[in-house]
Structure 1
Amino acid sequence: MTNSVDLDVSALMSIAAVERDCGLAKDTLRVWERRYGFPQPLRDAHDERRYPADQVAKLRLLRRLIDTGHRPGKIVGHSMEDLLALLRGPEAHGPEPESPAAREVLARLAAHDAERLRDFLAALLTRTGLRAFAAEIAPQLAHAVGAAWARGELEIHQEHLFTEQFATVLRGAINAALGAGAPRDRPRVLLSTLPQEPHALGLLMAEAMFVLEGCRCISLGVQTPAPDIATAARAHGADILALSFSAMAPAAQAQAGLAELRAATPAAMEIWAGGACPGLRAQPGVMVVRGLDSIGPAVAAWRLRTGSSQAPR
């Protein structure tokens, strides 16, 4: 139950501010409040929820742990100390070790140096190549930044800065690959996420892997209504409709959205779903692709099934 008190709310956060800061939807906050007894917001004079700083800090940790695969019901009741221990890993006695690249990224974020951060990421991409950058480096750096944010070492604007600079560099590399002159025809892949799924990096990393396999990709970006995705997929003659779901995506909502898309698209158009959503599962006419490294073999299998001779780059 929430508390109604007379207080100075200037130091407290509204539910909208918590949603922006923690990346947890308002509906999720309300459900946790009812189901798990946390958070326990106060109420202002207008009966609006207001969240103290200690609760917001714990919500940040919870979101990060859910991003790594933990289930809310198993961790919401844990103390901050226990949550930090989970974030560091069972064998850790201090902050999780970070790669040299992650340490460099965190240092440039701490210095608020967007230009040098972008230059470093671009140099890293050149050194490792697009495939390793998208499939291996990107998840490692995103985890390190998210963990630092959850520990309170970075502000939300610094996490957003990383996301934007990383996306800029990765998008540039994808465009360069598309402009390299390799023939691209089949499969035609339309990529997007459903509403309430704002995480764009996973979608962009998947696009990079499809491009490396010689696919023709059309990205609608994030948070596209299912009817619009279906309309676009038909308009572009997509062979594959690829949807990304982060660990924060409610499993029931993800499954319902996939079922809606399956019903609204031609049977010959395949629907592939991927991402860290723990409840994501195959259903009739929908294939789950586990991991970015699985995209290449899945595309090769599609070409065998359909008799397409289009070769990867």
Structure 2
Amino acid sequence: MSVLDSNAVDMAEATVSQGGGMARASRPLTLSIAAVERDTGLSKDTLRAWERRYGFPAPQRDRHGERAYPLEQVEKLRTVKRLLDAGHRPGRIVSLPSEDLQRLAASMPDQRPPVPGRALAVTPSDLQPYLDRLRAHDIVGLRRALARGLARAGLGRFVVEVAAPLATVVGEAWVRGDLEVYQEHALTESLQSVLRHALAALPEPEAGARPRVLLTTFPGEPHGLGLLMAEATLAIEGAACVSLGVQTPLWDIVLAAEAYRADVVAIGFTASVNPNHILDGLAELRAKLPATTALWAGGVLPLLQRHAVEGVDAMPTLDALVAAVHAWRAARR
């Protein structure tokens, strides 16, 4: 969840009169429209339009007369956003009760593409020890368990067989309402901590190692776990990686690609980004990069299958990323 600051959350207690006495009544926890936009990925204009058209969301007003959204409405909006990303139309789902939305979300088929050419040994029971610690709020135990899993499997297998499926399972549990947002964030931070430590322990790439890969996300895409997993996969393959972290402005990506002499620019996406922004951004970035610089997009295979962007290669899985590295090298022998 977004950081709840004094502008987004009203936790003040209201003083009310009861028969000459004074009592304290807590106001419900609410978020401002700006906080809801950040937290759900739904624009302010969309929220206002739905309010007029469908009667939901139905915000309260704070003491300044600004919209204030109760947390239960924000939770419903998150579920609506996930269903929209899966192809549902707003007119059919926005006005549905939360229970119906949860049932729809729970019935969604698994959208994860298979990992080509590899039968994963991971099962739900393999992930259960991590989930148990997460549910018990034992973050220290969770990080120790992840570190032990990394030591047993090695970085490459850990990313594919533990980190990636665990992040997916936790994300799906949040959509169903089985986990809270803060628990998903706690897992993400724990995984990122373990992966960064493992990356720091890898030997530096050889002098002149190629391809040189620049990794980042577009503005509006705050999720960096997939980016970190991609960096780990590339580093194991001996690529020279430069990560800019998340939310880099497009023109700065172009400048960085030139400065670091990148052979490849790799952009990561999740379902939180508007599909039109993805397609427009990729087309603009492709036009601004040199023709000799490859552009790889992670996490958007279904979108690029429907709306291909010339000169952009989709990387739906980590194995696809490995195959792309090998193909890049083979083409330059």
| TM-score after normalising by structure 1 | 0.80
Q: Which has the higher contact order (CA 8 A, sep 6+)?
A: 1
1:242: which partner in 2? 266
1:24: which partner in 2? 41
Counterpart pick for 1:39 among 33, 57, 64: 57
Counterpart pick for 1:130 among 155, 162, 168: 155
Distance 1:196 1:260 in 2: 16
**Counterpart residue identity of residue 322, structure 2:** G
Native 8 Å contact 1:66 1:248 kept in 2: no
Q: Does 1:268 align with 2:292?
A: yes
Distance 1:36 1:235 in 2: 49
Native 8 Å contact 1:66 1:247 kept in 2: no
**Which structure 2 residue ranges, 5 or more long, are not aligned?**
1-25, 110-122
2:201: which partner in 1? 176
Q: Does 1:223 align with 2:247?
A: yes
1:100: which partner in 2? 125
Counterpart pick for 1:257 among 265, 281, 288: 281
Residues 1:14 and 1:90: Cα distance change in structure 2 (over 3 Å): closer
Counterpart pick for 1:185 among 209, 224, 238: 209
Aligned residues with identical type, % of pairs: 48
Q: Does 1:198 align with 2:215?
A: no
Residues 1:75 and 1:200: Cα distance change in structure 2 (over 3 Å): farther
Post-superposition offset of 1:108: 1.9
Native 8 Å contact 1:194 1:224 kept in 2: yes
Native 8 Å contact 2:213 2:265 kept in 1: yes
| TM-score after normalising by structure 2 | 0.76
Post-superposition offset of 1:132: 2.8
Native 8 Å contact 1:272 1:287 kept in 2: yes
Q: Which moved more, 1:46-55 or 1:226-235?
A: 46-55
SS at match of 2:303: coil
Counterpart pick for 1:84 among 99, 102, 108: 102
Distance 2:133 2:314 in 1: 36
When Rg is computed on C-alpha atoms for both structures, the one with the higher figure is: 2
Native 8 Å contact 2:40 2:74 kept in 1: no
How many residues are treated as equivalent by the alignment? 292
Post-superposition offset of 1:197: 0.5
Native 8 Å contact 2:265 2:293 kept in 1: yes
Residues 1:33 and 1:248: Cα distance change in structure 2 (over 3 Å): farther
Q: Does 1:167 align with 2:184?
A: no
Native 8 Å contact 2:155 2:232 kept in 1: yes
Post-superposition offset of 1:304: 1.9
Distance 1:58 1:16 in 2: 17
